[in-house]
């Protein structure tokens, strides 16, 4: 399906729900810098994929132009899954210019990043760093809403220092005719090291007339269903959980219909890792074997957890492609079922069990 199908200049009444299923919650792949590029999107589509992609962010400065490599995830995306273009920055004039330039491409809409917690980004008052200045958030969101002809959405955190800041952010989002809001329900300070605050998502669902998407800590179908029950969100955005477990979108779809998807086994994961290696290797203009192994080890930081502690130990120490493949074969060339979730003490999936342990609490 040609992505141009989604390249329309919709009226201001058109919202993200027009891109998502009507009979079940929507599923989105989170924008992850240096991860959600064109080959990763293609690979996710092979495994069922989300209903909507969001690009890794386009860095916007006074003199910047949209990065060609990120543009490829829009202009060369033949998956049939619509793609939102995400931008990050704090210069209002430059952000407006970039949003308009991106709308000349087959994008499903423009998304504003108000959530990146990276210190280098926050020091420049971009991403999550801008949440320290609500009046500037108000000005930027207002200017972009005025400039963007099509869909305009925001992805934010629950605050910079504390979730107590979130009501002020909600007031700002209520003022502007957004087409959707995704909330990573941790603060910028919390990064990825705590449980999420589902009450912030639930408050946004009650307050806003457009779709609210819940993000953070969805590692399997159970945590995703719990997050939806506790918030009433219109859908889920999944990032690290999809790197670890690309079957997660199809498993959630099955759960929405009351079905049970067959769980993957060791050789399924081995096949996924090999596909990930090959499809990302082919994307490099100049391929360097040893550098690519290092990139794959970063992916494996999310994938290996819970499979086998010895697997994690050995994969960190590989250097060559042959060593990488040998370790993967040693621990994954079997037909045993894979663990359904990471370890509860995982350093990269922190606090996910809180969603299910407390899911019986009513949403006020």
| Short-list 163, 174, 100, CA closest to 138 | 174
What are 363's two structure tokens?
């949403």
| Short-list 194, 197, 213, CA closest to 205 | 213
Q: What's the sign of the alpha-carbon dihedral 26, 191, 358, 343?
A: positive
- pLDDT attached to residue 358: 58
- pLDDT attached to residue 171: 97
Distance CA 133, CA 120 (A): 17
What are 350's two structure tokens?
């922190």
What are 148's two structure tokens?
């963007």
- pLDDT attached to residue 14: 55
pTM: predicted TM-score of the whole model, two decimal places? 0.93
Q: Is 328 a catalytic residue?
A: no
* 3-state DSSP assignment of residue 63: coil
Q: Which one of 2, 4, 116, 350 is the catalytic residue? A: 116
Distance CA 215, CA 237 (A): 5
* 3-state DSSP assignment of residue 106: coil
| Short-list 179, 160, 183, 173, CA closest to 30 | 183
- CA Rg, the chain, in Å? 20
The DSSP bridge partners found for residue 212 are 181
Contact status, residue 204 vs residue 213, Cβ threshold 8 Å: no
What are 278's two structure tokens?
């090959």
Please state the length of the chain: 364
Sequence-distant (≥ 6) Cβ neighbours of residue 207 within 8 angstroms: 170, 174
- pLDDT attached to residue 1: 35
What are 143's two structure tokens?
């200017």
Judged on CB neighbours under 10 Å (0-12, 13-18, 19+), 23 is exposed
The DSSP bridge partners found for residue 214 are 183, 236
What are 299's two structure tokens?
């992916």
Q: What is the DSSP letter of 265?
A: B
Distances (CA, A) of 361 to 76, 186, 233: 45, 19, 16
Q: What is the pLDDT along the chain (364 residues), one digit of tens a residue?
A: 333 333 333 334 457 878 888 899 999 999 999 999 999 999 999 999 999 999 999 999 999 999 999 999 999 999 999 999 999 999 999 999 999 999 999 999 999 999 999 999 999 999 999 999 999 999 999 999 999 999 999 999 999 999 999 999 999 999 999 999 999 999 999 999 999 999 999 999 999 999 999 999 999 999 999 999 999 999 999 999 999 999 999 999 999 999 988 899 999 999 999 999 999 999 888 889 999 999 999 999 999 988 988 999 999 999 999 999 999 999 999 999 999 999 988 889 999 999 997 544 444 3
The DSSP bridge partners found for residue 29 are 53, 238
* 3-state DSSP assignment of residue 136: helix
What are 25's two structure tokens?
């919650």
- pLDDT attached to residue 3: 36
- pLDDT attached to residue 176: 95
* 3-state DSSP assignment of residue 267: helix
The DSSP bridge partners found for residue 136 are none
Contact status, residue 28 vs residue 52, Cβ threshold 8 Å: yes
Q: What is the DSSP letter of 234?
A: S
């Amino acid at each position: 399906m040609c992505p141009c199908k989604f390249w329309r200049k919709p009226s201001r009444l058109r919202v993200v729900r027009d891109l998502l299923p009507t009979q079940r919650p929507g599923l989105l792949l989170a924008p992850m810098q240096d991860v959600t590029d064109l080959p990763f999107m293609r690979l996710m589509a092979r495994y069922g994929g989300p209903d909507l992609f969001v690009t890794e962010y386009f860095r916007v400065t006074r003199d910047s132009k949209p990065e060609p490599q990120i543009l490829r995830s829009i202009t060369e995306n033949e998956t049939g899954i619509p793609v939102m273009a995400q931008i990050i920055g704090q210069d209002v004039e430059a952000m407006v210019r970039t949003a308009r330039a991106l709308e000349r491409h087959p994008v499903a809409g423009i998304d504003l990043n108000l959530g990146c917690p990276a210190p280098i980004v926050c020091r420049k008052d971009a991403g999550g760093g801008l949440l320290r200045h609500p009046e500037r958030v108000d000005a930027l969101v207002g200017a972009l809403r005025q400039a963007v002809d099509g869909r305009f959405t925001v992805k934010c955190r629950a605050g910079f220092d504390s979730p107590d800041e979130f009501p002020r952010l909600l007031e700002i989002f209520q003022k502007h005719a957004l087409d959707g809001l995704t909330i990573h329900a941790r603060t910028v300070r919390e990064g990825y090291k705590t449980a999420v605050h589902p009450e912030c998502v639930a408050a946004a669902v009650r307050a806003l007339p457009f779709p609210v998407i819940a993000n953070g800590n969805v590692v399997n179908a159970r945590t995703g269903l719990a997050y939806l029950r506790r918030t009433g969100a219109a859908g889920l955005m999944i990032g690290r959980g999809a790197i670890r477990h690309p079957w997660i979108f199809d498993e959630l779809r099955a759960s929405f219909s009351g079905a049970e998807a067959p769980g993957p086994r060791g050789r399924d994961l081995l096949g996924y890792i090999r596909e990930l290696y090959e499809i990302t290797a082919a994307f490099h203009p100049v391929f360097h074997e040893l550098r690519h192994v290092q990139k794959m080890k970063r992916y494996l930081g999310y994938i290996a957890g819970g499979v086998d502690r010895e697997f994690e130990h050995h994969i960190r120490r590989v250097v060559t492609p042959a060593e990488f493949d040998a370790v993967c074969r040693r621990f994954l060339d079997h037909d045993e079922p894979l663990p359904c979730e990471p370890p509860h003490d995982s350093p990269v999936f922190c606090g996910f069990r809180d969603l299910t342990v407390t899911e019986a609490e009513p949403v006020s």
